[in-house]
Amino acid sequence: MICLRLRGAERTYNDGHPVHALRPTDLDINERDFVTITGASGSGKSTLLNVLGLLDRPTAGSYEIGGVNMAAAGEKVRGAVRGQKFGFVFQSYHLVLRRTALENVELGMLYGPHKARERRQIAAEALERIGLAHRSHADPRQMSGGERQRVAIARAIATKPSVLFCDEPTGNLDSRNTGKVLDLLRELHQGGLTVVVVTHDLHVASVGTRQLSVTDGRVREEQR
Ligand code: ADP
Ligand code: MG
């Protein structure tokens, strides 16, 4: 059982003057939530996602995962939790060009416990699961944006994370491909994954079972 719990968590940048990217925030994300986070550009969405995903540390307050304060934990512990429990998807896919879809998914497991042959097997299964087995040997340059993002999602879920964090996953996609990616995220959520999606697309946001909005670093839960 994993529960993500921010208490008075803040992230302030200091370049000359302080930028309060995330103001003191209390937030619980529970297993099997599908949380969407909306807000204007610069409001603090990515900052919140990065703190939750252990890509960044709060400058004040606590962040407990399963009861352990990760805000104070060392990089080794944070890296282990991030690698074992979390998957990430970003707007621009971050696929390696001149590598096949299969190889890209395998690369995501390079620092995990699996041997090369297992990595290949798991990668093939992940591509199968997202409906892209037939594109396994394609280079990302031969793929549509929607296909690229689905490969990135396959890479993120291959390690069987508990939580999938997505920062503007449909930001570069047309409405048809946005729909495909949303269907996939919904399906993964129904399969038991906790999903956290940053988006400025209100249609994408409406898919969440919980909807948060961020305004000037302040996080608010929308009542539905
Ligand atoms: P969003 O994802 O909603 O567009 P961000 O979380 O990226 O917003 O940024 C929130 C605020 O923090 C913005 O004012 C942004 O300029 C500032 N910010 C983000 N990253 C940095 C950084 N590395 N150094 C200084 N300020 C930053
Ligand atoms: Mg952002």
Distance CA 217, CA 219 (A): 6
Residue having the nearest C-alpha atom to atom 15 of ligand 1:
42
pLDDT above 90 as % of the chain: 96
**Could you read off the pLDDT of 2-50 as tens digits, one per residue?**
799 999 999 999 989 999 999 999 999 999 999 999 999 999 999 999 9
- At a CB cut-off of 8 Å and minimum separation 6, what does 105 contact? 122, 123, 126, 127, 151, 154, 155, 158
Contact 12, 59 (CB under 8 A): yes
Distance CA 135, CA 23 (A): 44
Residue 55, ligand 1, Cβ within 6 A = no
- Relative to the alpha carbon of 37, which ligand is closest? 1
Give pLDDT, residue 187. 96
Residue having the nearest C-alpha atom to atom 21 of ligand 1:
13
Q: What are phi and psi of 28, to 5 degrees?
A: -115, 130
- Relative to the alpha carbon of 13, which ligand is closest? 1
Determine which helix (DSSP H) or strand (DSSP E) holds 180, and give its type and residue range. helix 175-190
pLDDT classification of 1: cutoffs 50, 70, 90: low
Residue 208, ligand 1, Cβ within 6 A = no
Arithmetic mean of pLDDT, 183-211: 96
Q: What are phi and psi of 34, to 5 degrees?
A: -120, 100
Contact 170, 178 (CB under 8 A): yes
**Pick from 135, 110, 134, 130: nearest CA to 120:** 110
Give the dihedral sign, CA 33/37/179/206: positive
Taking the domains of the chain in order of start, what are their residue ranges?
33-55+85-222
Residue 50, ligand 1, Cβ within 6 A = no
Instruction: Provide the 3-class DSSP secondary structure of residue 151.
Output: helix
Calculate the average pLDDT of the chain.
96
**Could you read off the pLDDT of 127-172 as tens digits, one per residue?**
999 999 999 999 999 999 999 999 999 999 999 999 999 999 999 9
Q: pTM, whole model, 2 decimals?
A: 0.96
Q: What is the DSSP letter of 136?
A: T
State the distance between the two ends of the chain, measured CA to CA, in whole angstroms.
Answer: 26
Residue 198 CA, closest ligand 1 atom number: 2
Beta bridge partners of 85: none
Q: What is the DSSP letter of 141?
A: G
Residue 43, ligand 1, Cβ within 6 A = yes
Fold of the domain built from segment(s) 33-55+85-222: Rossmann fold (3.40.50)
Distance CA 84, CA 159 (A): 7
- How much distance in Å is there from the Cα of 41 to the middle of ligand 2? 7
Determine which helix (DSSP H) or strand (DSSP E) holds 219, and give its type and residue range. strand 218-222
Residue 19, ligand 1, Cβ within 6 A = yes
- How much distance in Å is there from the Cα of 189 to the middle of ligand 1? 28
